[in-house]
Chains A and B, each alone.
Chain A
Amino acid sequence: MAAGAAEATAGASPRSRDTLEAIRERGELRWGADPFGGAPYVFQDPMDPNHLVGYEVELAAAIAHRLGVEARPAEGAWDKLLDLLARGDFDVALNGIEVADEKRRVCLLSRPYYAAGERLTVRRGDPGAPRRLESLAGRRVGTLPGSLAQRILERAGAVVLTYDGGQNDIYDDLRLGRTDAVLLDEPIARYYGDVQPELETLPGAFGEVRYAVAIRHGDEALKAAVDQAIGALARDGTLRRLYQRWGLWNRETAALLGDGGPSPAGTAEAYESWRAAVGRAPSLRDRLTQRYPRTFWLFARGAALTLVLSLASMALAATLGAAIAWARRYGPRPLRWLAVVYVEFVRGTPLLVQLIMIYFGLPELGVRLDPFAAGWLALGLNYAAAEAENYRAGLESVPAAQSEAAATLGLSRWQTMRHVIAPQAVRVAIPPMTNDLIALLKDSSLVSIVTLTELTKTYSNLAGSMRDHLGLGLVVAAWYLVIGLPLARAGRAVEARLGRHLRRAVT
């Protein structure tokens, strides 16, 4: 009894010693970040998308090194990082997480490792562009959701447009005239605004943002160790060198780290290579012969996950759907009623909501599923409702006289179902099932929110880091067709086989 209670407590909020000890034991610091969060934080190398790069990748490695372990990135959507941290999907979150009071309510924050101003970017040569905080009132300004910039803009009375899709979209919309300005953290402005010749980032900052490492509540020892590591890295100049390489060294960070020299020294080689990579799109020839072939294994991995997840989910949906259809047509009244409620509830609510409930909601009840299991369960439970309806339509398409004919021949109800009703019903249910399988293949892209990098997520990651949405869009479309068409073909083959009796013989 007492042991059980102690275990439950430990499970609900792992004590700090446990996490720090666990890190040291496994020799690995698992740090959460969003590879789609973009440069210069954590992103796929545009020259070689199989690698994650970014100043925070190097920072995580340096902190891990100080703790005497290796760093291993774990992927998650940026706005879900703190939820995933709380779930225990990784040890810390390190991805441009701003120091703010409302964050302290859900997690511990380390001492800040970087500081920067909020910078305003406008169209170059736009005479009506807002240039001061006061002139932002009533203007359309883009930024990231939940950021300090958003709060500044709202206070200034601007019409704020927030983007979940990534930094490219924010600056592209400004360039295309859909917004009047963009306010974002200096690193983002530098990597996405400054690289576009049509845009200019105004001098002067509108407030200061600081980034810190997020740590679970209760992990005080881990926080102390991380704080100590950051302090040591600041003292020995590692951080300064790191930020200079990425072109990020600034006055704010110099003050934050207590480093006397605000002006950067040395060349920002990482920044320059980023500029070179995204400055102009490579020719179609280069893309076809070099860039796209290099994405092969990333896409293949994503496609394999999409396919395996879809097939496994369909198997669950088909089994559960058959049980529901049976209950609805032949079950006793309470079961019939339950089946109707299930179908209507699942069909009437968005799959996204169900997925979030299963992945982020169930842990509140002590059920913690890994991402694949959660995605499989959500897709399977969701599509079970659709399959149940398919089977019901199939069962209802078989005339009652068929059951009576079987009964007069002495077949039991089960034998009638197995040999007479089901074969005829399945033939009717196969075309919509094939359709659902293809739909499921596409719906499986939703599982990217639970950190699974399937095909669509692979595409959006790559398109973001290579700034090539159209070309890679065609590439990912081809991948979907490559895995989808054989499934459609298989469905037609099964249908034809079950429909043999409908081929009229030439007599």
Chain B
Amino acid sequence: MIRVQALEKRHPGAPDATLRGVSFHVPAGRLAAILGSSGAGKSTLLRCLVGLEIFDGGSIEIDGVEARAEDGPRASALLRGRVGLVPQSLDLFPHLSALENCALAPRVARREPRAAAEARASRLLAGLGLSQRLDAYPEQLSGGQRQRVAIARALAMEPRVLLYDEPTSALDPSLKDEVRRTLLTVGESGVTQLVATHDAGFARSAASWVLVLEEGRIARQGEPDSVLAGPR
């Protein structure tokens, strides 16, 4: 579950706030999409949710844990590890194999034994169709495979919420469908998912709830058909 209330973020030196009172709610286990043109504030919103940015106002609640702007850096620390992120550029660790990419954080940040961490990592990778590529390095994988490693890496920390930044950018239609099926597979485990995208077609086909972000505010939200059928 994600509950965002009156979230505000102003980048130092920027004339206007990037997020100006964003509020929305995604129930547990849902797959929601945030639509918006570039510059609407999607990436900033995701960075606030995942704890990479200190926000200036409002609050973020993840499954009952609330991070408030007043808490400053502690708010960000609270979110880290609870919220996973699949960045647009994926940012896999190039010096580690697919398996090591997924096992590193549980092993190091949660001090799990190597065997346990690797067993879960290989289960996650296998679930996303990568059982044959466990020992491959990112450089040796295709774009789609890398994306699935990034998803498995985020899931390895067992987050309650998983965020995606533009997962379909620069993908052809057949691969977009592969991404959609991957998200549905992940959703079966009960993880709440939020996908930032500017691809309305993808949002309609994959998400069960759609938020439209315009100029730092949620302009509309609702079922995909109702939100996306209206004036574009």
Contacts and interface: CB of A to CB of B under 8 A. Distances in A.
Interface in B82-141: 83-85, 87, 89, 91-97, 104-105, 108-110, 136-140
Contacts of B154: 408-409
Query: Chain B interface mostly helix, strand, loop or mixed?
Result: loop
B93 A420 contact: yes
A402 B93 contact: yes
Contact of A409 (B94, B140, B153): B153
A470 B93 CA distance: 53
A105 interface: no
Nearest to B108: A415
A357 to B, nearest CB: 41
Contacts of A427: 95
B219 interface: no
Interface string A62-87: 00000000000000000000000000
A285 interface: no
Nearest to B83: A408
A501 B96 contact: yes
Contact of B91 (A402, A502, A507): A402
A420 B108 CA distance: 11
B187 interface: no
A507 B109 contact: no
B194 to A, nearest CB: 14
Given A408-B52, A410-B157, A419-B104, A501 B137 contact: yes
A466 B77 CA distance: 73
B94 A500 contact: no
A500 B84 CA distance: 28
A409 B157 contact: yes
Contacts of B108: 411, 415, 419
Interface in A369-410: 399, 401-402, 404-410
B76 to A, nearest CB: 9
B11 interface: no
Contacts of A411: 104-105, 108-109
Nearest to B76: A407
A5 interface: no
Contact of B139 (A401, A404, A407, A504): A504
A99 B153 CA distance: 81
Contact of A500 (B52, B80, B83, B137): B137
Interface string B41-61: 000000000111000000000
A295 interface: no
Nearest to B89: A401
Nearest to B138: A501
Interface string A180-202: 00000000000000000000000
B144 interface: no
B21 interface: no
Given A501-B95, A501-B96, A404 B52 contact: yes
B131 to A, nearest CB: 16
Nearest to A506: B140
B109 A412 contact: yes
A168 interface: no
A505 interface: yes
A415 B93 CA distance: 14
Most buried by B among A407, A409, A423: A409
A140 to B, nearest CB: 63
A498 interface: yes
A388 B10 CA distance: 37
A498 B137 CA distance: 12
Contacts of A147: none
Given A407-B51, A410-B110, A411-B109, A498 B136 contact: no
A424 interface: yes
B155 to A, nearest CB: 11
Contacts of A410: 80-81, 105, 109-110, 157
Contact of A504 (B52, B84, B140): B140
A474 B85 CA distance: 62
A410 to B, nearest CB: 3
Contacts of A409: 81, 84, 104-105, 109, 153-154, 157
B60 to A, nearest CB: 14
B109 A498 contact: no
Contact of B140 (A408, A423, A505): A505
B50 A502 contact: no
A36 to B, nearest CB: 50
A126 B56 CA distance: 93
Contacts of A404: 52, 87, 91
A420 B109 CA distance: 13
A507 B83 CA distance: 34
Most buried by B among A405, A407, A503: A405
A319 B63 CA distance: 46
B80 A408 contact: yes
Contacts of B136: 505
A404 B138 CA distance: 18
Interface of A: 399, 401-402, 404-412, 415, 419-420, 423-424, 427, 498, 500-505, 507
Given A408-B85, A504-B139, 9 more contacts: A401-B91, A404-B87, A408-B80, A408-B84, A410-B105, A420-B104, A500-B95, A504-B140, A505-B140
Nearest 5 A-B pairs (CB), nearest first? A410-B81, A501-B137, A409-B105, A405-B91, A410-B109
Interface of B: 50-52, 80-81, 83-85, 87, 89, 91-97, 104-105, 108-110, 136-140, 153-154, 157
27 contacts: A401-B87, A402-B93, A404-B52, A405-B87, A405-B93, A407-B52, A408-B52, A408-B80, A408-B83, A408-B84, A408-B85, A408-B154, A409-B104, A409-B105, A409-B157, A411-B105, A411-B108, A411-B109, A412-B109, A415-B108, A420-B104, A424-B95, A500-B95, A501-B96, A502-B94, A503-B137, A504-B139
